[in-house]
A = this chain, B = another copy of it.
Amino acid sequence: LHEILRLRRDSWNRLGPAERSRCLEEAQAYLAAAAKPATGDTAVFSLLGHKGDLLVLHFRPDLASVHEVELGVRALALYEHLERTASYVSVVELGLYEMTGKIWEKLAAEGIEPDSDAWRARLAKEMEHHRDRMRSRLYGEIPPTRYLCFYPMNKRRGEEKNWYAEPYARRQEMMRAHGFVGRKYGGQVTQVITGSIGFDDWEWGVYLFADDPLVYKKLVYEMRFDEASAWYGEFGPFWVGLRLSTDDLGEVLSGRLPPHRP
């Protein structure tokens, strides 16, 4: 879950310096503690543009834990001077099509005959292995890059072009081609794909972590020509922000951009 918050300058400015410090200290202590639970992570980003000032991102193993940390944020004294402009509720996804695609490639590279018994056994083992790797990602750390890009998306359900009416094999093939583009940027950007069907208004939420933000433009532009995106991708609004150390929250609200502390 993440929330987008906008500072209400008028009520914030009305506070005296001591009150402001108290607000910031409470918030920084809370967010620092929230960033180090047994499982999960919490991070704050300073946003470009008018959609908000701060994005607070929580990774947690279940909805109750994420709601708990969110309720704590809402009860901060600072929160009275913030307004929520957006949020997103979703769970990290295993990337079924992509994972399957990767394994198939690997098995093919190893010369294992598709659909043979050996192939099936290896497929099951590899999928288990990937699930373990993903699980650690699910409850692990938020990647420590300087920039975050977030956008939600749907698969089109049009009257003619309808993802959900395409056969599984076609969808898999398109997602594999889509995945190839993503992998080209593997070293420069960490993608966290989350699913929000049943939880939020779009079907997926995409978090892109990178140190050079120009890679967002290149990656998203190149993907737009994939068959999966060109005909079936529908994209929501985009948010871009810079990671903050919780210690730097006060600096940012005072109008100064602190250096990145990875």
Residues on A lying within 8 angstroms of B by beta carbon are: 1, 3-4, 7, 9-11, 13, 46, 48-51, 53, 62-64, 66-68, 70-77, 79-80, 84-89, 91, 146-147, 149, 156-162, 164-165, 195-201, 208, 213-214, 216-221, 224-225, 227, 229-231, 233, 236-238, 240, 242, 252-257
CB<8 Å pairs between A and B, sample of 21: A9-B74, A46-B71, A48-B63, A48-B67, A48-B70, A51-B87, A63-B242, A71-B252, A74-B255, A75-B253, A75-B255, A76-B255, A91-B214, A91-B217, A149-B198, A156-B159, A197-B217, A199-B213, A200-B238, A201-B236, A201-B238
Chain B residues contacting A80 (CB-CB under 8 Å) are 9-10, 13
Asked if A159 and B161 make an inter-chain contact with CB atoms under 8 angstroms apart, the answer reads yes
Chain B residues contacting A146 (CB-CB under 8 Å) are 64
Known A-B contacts A64-B242, A159-B161, A161-B159; A50 and B198 likewise in contact (beta carbons under 8 Å): no
Chain B residues contacting A195 (CB-CB under 8 Å) are 217, 221
Option from B86, B147, B164, B227 in Cβ contact (under 8 Å) with A63: B147
Most central of A3, A75, A91, A216 by chain B CB within 10 Å = A75
Most central of A9, A71, A219 by chain B CB within 10 Å = A71
Asked if A49 and B164 make an inter-chain contact with CB atoms under 8 angstroms apart, the answer reads no
Asked if A75 and B257 make an inter-chain contact with CB atoms under 8 angstroms apart, the answer reads no
Known A-B contacts A80-B13, A147-B63, A238-B199; A75 and B254 likewise in contact (beta carbons under 8 Å): yes
Alpha-carbon gap, A230 to B167, bound state (A): 12
The SS class assigned to the A binding surface is mixed
Chain B residues contacting A198 (CB-CB under 8 Å) are 149, 208, 216-221, 238, 240
Alpha-carbon gap, A261 to B257, bound state (A): 32
Chain B residues contacting A227 (CB-CB under 8 Å) are 165
Alpha-carbon gap, A257 to B64, bound state (A): 8
Asked if B159 and A67 make an inter-chain contact with CB atoms under 8 angstroms apart, the answer reads no
Alpha-carbon gap, A75 to B238, bound state (A): 24
